[in-house]
Amino acid sequence: MNNENAIDKKQKQDKIVNMFDDIASTYDLTNRVLSMGIDKQWRKKGCEKAYELLGKSELTQITDVATGTGDLLIYWRDIAEKKGISVSKFVGIDPSVGMLGVAKEKVDFAEFLEGKAQELPVADSGTDIISISYGIRNVVDRVEALNEFNRALKSGGMVVILEFTKQEKSSIVSKIVDFYMKKVLPTIGGFVSKNYSAYRYLPDSIEEFLTTAMLEKELEEAGFEMKYTKSFSMGISTLLVAQKK
């Protein structure tokens, strides 16, 4: 990578982090309004499927990357308790100080660390599960991040990705989803958060992102075996669970 390209990537990543700092205080409310609460079911499904596929009753650590306000960690804990799974440590990692500030007030059972997806403060083979919900498209060096996930996971460990992936078809359903993401979402998100540019960024970032098949391929190239893929709500959200080989 040449120096100019590295600088461009850093500037782009810093801009994204600053944007999330700005919307941290309204982030949870905006998510609930925009998804009508359906995102809760998406997150629960991701946790349940990972626990099922991993098949262990005792885990050393679950690491949530781009943790934001820590929402997913609550589901990891609650579902583990429901299933009788013991988890010694929950860790949330995010480059946004603003988001971590909200997370620390909301989630009292986890450790929160400032850090990037491509530079995790986790030891080699140090965690059983790595999750990232609606954050992988915001990672500029995505391939580097997937390789980092592989490094930090134990052998046989799971990576869980929830994301808005690019629509592949031009069907009536995809056009409805496209209208919602490009017209309705920026208007409502901007109104609730008072930051219209942040919620204009969301549909643009999805349009520039990968299809589900492309993301599966990148996971496989990073040393993972795909175990489960499912789309939710007319393809708005996609769950991918992969295992370290």
Q: What is the 3-state secondary structure of the chain?
A: CCHHHHHHHHHHHHHHHHHHHHHHHHHHHHHHHHHCCCHHHHHHHHHHHHHHHHCCCEEEEEEEECCCCCHHHHHHHHHHHHHCCEEEEEEEEECCHHHHHHHHHHCCCCEEEECECCECCCCCCCEEEEEEECCHHHCCCHHHHHHHHHHHEEEEEEEEEEECCCCCCCCHHHHHHHHHHHHHHHHHHHHHHCCHHHHHHHHHHHHCCCCHHHHHHHHHHCCEEEEEEEEECCCCEEEEEEEEC
Identify the weakest region by mean pLDDT among 76-85, 116-125, 230-239. Answer: 230-239
- Check residue 101 and give its pLDDT: 93
**With 60 as the cut, is the pLDDT of residue 33 above it?**
no
pLDDT-derived band at 40, boundaries 50, 70, 90: confident
pLDDT score for 163: 87
Query: Is the per-residue pLDDT at 64 higher than 60?
Result: yes
Of the candidates 77, 67, 78, the residue with the CA atom closest to the CA atom of residue 28: 67
Mean per-residue pLDDT, 134-146: 89
Q: Which two tokens stand for residue 159?
A: 């990576």
Amino acid 165: pLDDT:
73
Domains of the chain, residue spans: 3-166+210-244
pLDDT band at residue 35 under the 50/70/90 scheme:
low
Q: Tell me, what's the pLDDT at 51?
A: 98
Overall pTM surpassing 0.85 (yes/no): no
The CATH number that domain 3-166+210-244 falls under is: 3.40.50.150
Given a cut of 70, whether residue 68 has pLDDT beyond it is yes
Amino acid 3: pLDDT: 66
Return the pLDDT at 28.
66
Each residue of 167-195: pLDDT tens digit? Answer: 655 667 667 666 666 666 677 766 666 77
